Amino acid sequence: MKLQDYKRKRNFAQSPEPRARKSKVKRLRFYVQKHEASHLHYDFRLELEGVLKSWAIPKGPSLDPAQKRLAVMVEDHPLEYGEFEGDIPAGNYGAGVVTVWDKGVYTALGTSDVSKEEVELKKGLKKGHIKIVLAGDKLNGGFNLVRLKAGEKNWLLIKEKDEYASNETNIVAKLKKKTMPKDIKPMLAKRVDEIFDRQGWIFEIKWDGYRAIAEVDAGKVKLYSRNNLDLKQQFPPIVTGLQAFKGRAIFDGEIIAMKNGRPDFHALQNAGKKTRIMYVVFDLLYINDEDLRRKPLRDRKEKLKNLFRGSPNIMIADYVEDEGKKVFQSIKKQQMEGVIAKDGASAYLEGVRSNSWLKIKNIETQEAIIIGFTEPKGGRKYLGSLVLGAYDSNELKFIGHSGGGFSGKEIKELYDKLVKVKTGNSPVREKVPINSPITWVKPKYVCTVSFTEWPPDGRMRHPVYLGLRSDKKVKEVTREPVASQKELVGAEAIDVKVTNSDKVFWPKEGYTKQDVIDYYNSVADYMLPYLKDRPQNMYRHPNGIKKPGFYHKYITTSVPAYVAMQKIWSEHNKDEINYLLCQNKETLLYMVNLGCIEINPWNSKVENVEKPDYMIIDLDPGKKKFDDLIVVAKEVKQVLDLACADSYIKTSGKSGLHIFVPLAAKYSYEQIKDLSLLIVKIVNGRIPKITSIERTPAKRGGKIYLDYLQNRRGQTIAAAYSLRPVPGASVSTPLEWKEVRRGLDPKKFTIKTIHARLKKKGDLWKPVLGKGIDLRKSLQCLEKNVKEEI
């Protein structure tokens, strides 16, 4: 069937499908596209004679040679169609969602001479029997296409009996039914101080509306805010627009109201039937059984661009590559809120405020908590101005008051809400410098205000009310920090080559090498202070946690330019050994690519390699329960308190606990080993029934081992925030001492849960690198407080 048939059947003004162009590619390609049209089928396409010869396979291909799959020959398609993914609008030929299910190259079976391949394939096409060998992501090995009767469109696709054959009756059924993610937590952006240009980055308009995730499954829609509030009832036109998408997908975007050609948050708050409401979609997280969250943003954008053609309420966000300053100048002229800058190579990190997504504001806005209102003056009714607050270090503080931005109807509705939550006491401790009488209200409602600047006193200048925010929780409202763009973006981004990213590292949980890459990418800013300038003993698990790992301490091969090295004298080897230093995120990811699930830095830095930065007491539970370990940890802390030594604790990431004492690199390993031995002897003397300081496990009798020997040159222990190669993908997690009590479960701190904890508590490990103990004073304190036990 000729290419003219393809052109005749399509309206290219309406359909996003590609037109035909001449090919410059020499290798023959094949494609399998999943086509969710009126009936789901798979389109099998072979490049031949400058076009894609095409067959529709209702049940999809099979790897079982006993399965003969019907393949109906259809019109030739242009070569460009092989890469096409998109939503063909209703009313057009082939309406429905098209995705690439598999692709690769192919050869003629039994033909070694490439120059004769097309000749043999053409002969086979004419005879009605094409023999081919596929090399794709899902389909490999020999296949036969056999025509049933001369002159008919019906063929059979049959797998050859080879090493790629399988008795799996339906590879499509096996691969397609992946669980669609639910209740996505949106990835967030950090605010920076200035716009920038950067190759490989994407720059978009910062839309002024409600952030919303849309889950669509065969016309069924779930639309919700970043706090999981249902938005379907509030925005029915958007739900209608999403229902037109007949596949399965998850979108991330912003709900906006357009006024005078630009988004207007105030108009969104007061939207009526005539208000133009739109869902601006800027990310695609999942489509038709393919989870895209680990894919680069640029690839997700490419799949997104052809969806929702002609929809009046759904718009795909436009973007500009590399040139952020140009975009910022444009939005300034239009008086829009700002620009979002995104690393085109970034994965989608759920719930994480990442350095890969940055926002640059043109108009200052701030979320604020309404904590009161003043009496109206002049002709105004109900209220004068709103008294506003925000949280600062868990304390609610006054940040200004706003008397502008209200409409008559709006002020009445707002007043009716506030009088229901009146209270007799101020929600803030400080005195609020407002002359008018204030009616205090409970901190229940969040609003958005625009303003001109933040003065030194921390109270907004000229705030103007824009509207209430039902999508923000009160406790989330803080003054937004502004970071240095130069610090966050830094020099030109370095491309870290990742191999075998889909290799499964945790078979039971299904976590892959890419999950480990994503995890360390997201926590690098927390980890790097505890890794920089320290030799690394790499513990590699290139085949996942079910296979034995091995230590790789010495670097003897070439490494990328961004990896720093340091030669350190080894008394054991009587030679200088080349150690890797983890100085940046790129090196951390390089280590992960080598199979380092856990990260093990030395206790000392290279500039002071003989003096550790901290003392470690490693508690190994043996055969005891974790609650027994809690008892021992508290006893260790009590002894350290008596030694006038501050201490900090973290889970090991397995079944133990690590107690650290800051030293600030003032003492030798030998001195600190002696001190730690003294501490554990005292603890062992107090609770000998459940503790031991015996090095040999067999001599401990299952007791908790008080390991002080980590305090030796070259010893390492899993770093704070390091993953461990154990079931559950647990993380070595810093704790507050008040958390160390019976019932604590170290297994709850995992690759999936740690981000919420970091967001809530921040980095608890900072003091470990702070002011160290005074060793002389600590010994004097022990002499005074536990003299009889020494």
Q: What angle do CA 22, 26, 28 make, to 5 degrees?
A: 95
CATH classification at residue 440: 2.40.50.140
CATH classification at residue 760: 3.90.920.10
Q: Provide the pLDDT for residue 24.
A: 40
- Active site includes 206? yes
Do both 704 and 660 map to the same domain? yes
Question: What is the C-alpha separation between 412 and 329, in angstroms, rounded?
Answer: 39
pLDDT band at 17 (very low <50, low <70, confident <90, very high): low
pLDDT at 3 over 80: no
Handedness of CA 691, 693, 694, 697 (dihedral sign): positive
Instruction: Return mean pLDDT, the chain.
Output: 88
Is residue 363 within 8 Å of 448, Cβ to Cβ? Answer: no
CA distances from 666 to 587, 610, 613 (A): 28, 10, 8
Reduce the DSSP state of residue 157 to 3 states and report it.
strand
Mean pLDDT in residue range 254-276: 81
pLDDT band at 781 (very low <50, low <70, confident <90, very high): very high
Do both 420 and 320 map to the same domain? no
Do both 170 and 55 map to the same domain? yes
The catalytically annotated residue of 34, 131, 206, 673 is: 206
Short-list 779, 526, 767, CA closest to 663? 767
Q: Provide the pLDDT for residue 227.
A: 87
Domain boundary among 176, 208, 241: 176
Residue with tokens 């280590």: 591
Handedness of CA 52, 58, 59, 63 (dihedral sign): negative
What Rg, from alpha-carbon coordinates, does the chain have?
A: 32
Mean pLDDT in residue range 289-298: 84
Q: Provide the pLDDT for residue 13.
A: 45
pLDDT band at 9 (very low <50, low <70, confident <90, very high): low
Give the long-range contacts of residues 542-546, CB within 8 A, separation 24 or more: 542/594, 542/595, 543/503, 543/595, 544/503, 544/504, 544/505, 544/506, 544/507, 544/725, 545/505, 545/506, 545/597, 545/725, 545/726, 545/727, 546/507
Q: Provide the whole-model pTM.
A: 0.50
Question: What is the C-alpha separation between 442 and 421, in angstroms, rounded?
Answer: 6
Tokens of 24: 């410059």
Do both 459 and 541 map to the same domain? no
Do both 596 and 726 map to the same domain? no
In this structure, is residue 664 part of a structural domain? yes
In this structure, is residue 181 part of a structural domain? no
Do both 771 and 634 map to the same domain? yes
Tokens of 262: 């630009």
Q: Provide the pLDDT for residue 381.
A: 87
Question: What is the C-alpha separation between 738 and 743, in angstroms, rounded?
Answer: 12
Per-residue pLDDT tens digits for 165-174: 887 656 665 5
Q: What angle do CA 627, 728, 582 make, to 5 degrees?
A: 100
Per-residue pLDDT tens digits for 328-377: 999 998 889 999 999 887 888 888 887 889 999 998 899 999 999 999 98
Cα 679 vs. chain centroid, distance in angstroms?
A: 42
In this structure, is residue 55 part of a structural domain? yes
Do both 458 and 558 map to the same domain? no
Per-residue pLDDT tens digits for 651-703: 999 999 999 999 999 999 999 999 999 999 999 999 999 999 998 988 999 99
In this structure, is residue 470 part of a structural domain? yes
In this structure, is residue 197 part of a structural domain? yes
Q: Provide the pLDDT for residue 112.
A: 55
pLDDT band at 94 (very low <50, low <70, confident <90, very high): confident
CA distances from 789 to 18, 322, 678, 769, 783 (A): 83, 67, 10, 30, 9
Tokens of 476: 């989330």
Q: Provide the pLDDT for residue 19.
A: 54
Domain boundary among 608, 642, 672: 608
Do both 156 and 245 map to the same domain? no
- Give me the sheet containing 538-540, strands edge to edge: 550-552, 538-540, 596-598
Cα 55 vs. chain centroid, distance in angstroms?
A: 39
Do both 141 and 202 map to the same domain? no
Q: Provide the pLDDT for residue 491.
A: 44
In this structure, is residue 699 part of a structural domain? yes
Question: What is the C-alpha separation between 537 and 527, in angstroms, rounded?
Answer: 16
Residue at 475: amino acid letter? K
Q: Count up the domains in the chain and report the number.
A: 5
pLDDT at 493 over 60: no
Is residue 578 within 8 Å of 555, Cβ to Cβ? Answer: yes
Domain boundary among 608, 640, 674: 608
Cβ partners under 8 Å of residue 710, min gap 6: 603, 616, 617, 618, 717
726 burial (CB, 10 Å; 0-12 / 13-18 / 19+) is middle
Highest mean pLDDT among 238-252, 265-279, 630-644: 630-644
CA distances from 632 to 332, 643, 706, 747 (A): 61, 17, 9, 19
Q: Provide the pLDDT for residue 169.
A: 56
Do both 136 and 69 map to the same domain? yes
Do both 195 and 328 map to the same domain? yes
Do both 514 and 452 map to the same domain? no
Number of helices and strands (H, E) in the chain? 15, 41
Between 64-78, 464-478, 570-584, the lowest mean confidence (pLDDT) is in: 570-584
Domain of residue 266: give its range: 188-361
Tokens of 179: 């669980």
Tokens of 551: 């230590």
Per-residue pLDDT tens digits for 393-411: 889 999 999 998 887 788 9
Give the long-range contacts of residues 1-6, CB within 8 A, separation 24 or more: 1/73, 1/74, 1/75, 1/76, 2/75, 2/76, 3/51, 3/75, 3/76, 3/77, 3/78, 5/75, 5/76, 6/75, 6/76, 6/77, 6/78, 6/81
CATH classification at residue 342: 3.30.470.30
Per-residue pLDDT tens digits for 422-437: 999 999 999 999 988 9
DSSP 8-state symbol, 623: T
Per-residue pLDDT tens digits for 559-595: 887 788 888 887 777 777 888 999 888 899 999 999 9
In this structure, is residue 28 part of a structural domain? yes
DSSP 8-state symbol, 469: -
In this structure, is residue 491 part of a structural domain? no
